[in-house]
Structure 1
Amino acid sequence: MAKWEYVTVPLLTHATKQILDNWGEDGWELVQVVPGPGGGDQLVAYLKREK
């Protein structure tokens, strides 16, 4: 059975693609993007990768 590790990453709306591309190069897969705790236009990405 696969084992996973997870990370949450704050996203800057003007650099979302660059941030996700950088994490993706390290093997992280995007699971979900949700509004940040502060509301507004802040976003948080949840990512996972196999251990």
Structure 2
Amino acid sequence: MKKWEYVTVPLLTHATKQILDNWGEEGYELVQVVPGPNPEQLVAYMKREKQ
């Protein structure tokens, strides 16, 4: 059975790709993006398989 670890990441709208690419390099996969506390920010939910 696979086990997962999760992280929530604040995304700034002007640097979204760079932030997601950095987390992708760490092995995380994007699950969902939801609105953040203000219009300039989103929150990404990411997961990766536990080692």
TM over 0.5: yes
Question: Could you state the TM-score of these two structures normalised by the residue count of structure 1?
Answer: 0.92
The percentage of counterpart residues that share the same residue type is 84
In angstroms, what is the RMSD of aligned CA positions? 0.8
Instruction: Structure 2: give runs of 5+ residues left out of the alignment.
Output: none
Runs of 4+ in 1 over 2 A off after TM superposition: none
Q: Gaps spanning 5+ residues in structure 1: where?
A: none
Counterpart AA for 1:3: K
> Number of aligned pairs?
50
What is the CA deviation profile of residues 7-40 of structure 1, one whole-angstrom value per residue up to 9, with x for unaligned ones? 000001000000000000010000000001x242
